[in-house]
Structure 1
């Protein structure tokens, strides 16, 4: 049984870095529309943040739109992945608490389902890094050497 489990581990470790790469790209794509909407209408974003009682709405509108925009690029490149993932995870916590939580869980009702999934993916990247196919590994020697 121990050999079987060991073989399964080896088998499933092969696609790990490809899965990390695809996950980074998919997550970056998921951030792209909300980031563009915020950055293209910062005044609207500030007004929206004020309407839902987000503290320091002007500062946070600039910070969130900037982090999301930069985060898209860094996630795709796999550069500073652990750091940007932690920062974006805080953005997701804010999105869950201030925007989505009152609507329940389901995304179809505007709930916190999608931001929760993003948060989980971001925590995976913060924990395991960007993987072999990333600039983190090339430039910073951070990533999986497998």
Structure 2
């Protein structure tokens, strides 16, 4: 079977659009979940819930998950330190999968791992590809490139 689109032939603009969409959507989802932990459940309430689910070091884990989701999600939306923010969030999602969701199967309506695994997969792509040209990372790196001074 022949691929309809050869990944190496995708235009850079289209690839950057895909990275932008992935960054913003993943970031918004992370922010929503972090805000829920911070505002609705509170970090202490989240820690209590984590402890009940058998998550190790529940208080520390709840704080880390909350702040990685809130701050890391915002960093993804704007594309700031994208690989680092995505890596931190991917580790949180992997932990959620291993410690909470995988024992419940795949489907999210049964407490399964499908959401955290989908988020994990998208985050891994951002770790390896970065935020693309429509990101603060790219803008900052363009601004730091110095032109050689002509001898004269």
- Matched with 1:31 is 30
Following TM superposition, the consecutive aligned residue runs of length 4 or more in structure 1 with deviations greater than 3 angstroms are: 5-14
| TM-score of the aligned structures, taking structure 1 as reference length | 0.85
For structure 1, the 5+ residue unaligned runs are 142-146
Inter-CA distance 11–59: structure 2 relative to 1 (3 Å threshold) = closer
The answer as to whether partners of 2:31 and 2:74 remain within 8 angstroms in 1 is no
Higher CA-based Rg: 2
Deviation string 1:25-58 (CA, Å, 9 cap, x unpaired) is 1111211222111112112101011111111111
The answer as to whether partners of 2:83 and 2:128 remain within 8 angstroms in 1 is yes
Q: Distance in 2 between matches of 1:8 and 1:127?
A: 15
Inter-CA distance 68–6: structure 2 relative to 1 (3 Å threshold) = closer
- Matched with 2:90 is 89
Inter-CA distance 14–103: structure 2 relative to 1 (3 Å threshold) = same
The answer as to whether partners of 2:55 and 2:100 remain within 8 angstroms in 1 is no
For structure 2, the 5+ residue unaligned runs are 143-152
| TM-score of the aligned structures, taking structure 2 as reference length | 0.82
Count of aligned pairs: 137
- CA drift of 1:106 comes to 1.6
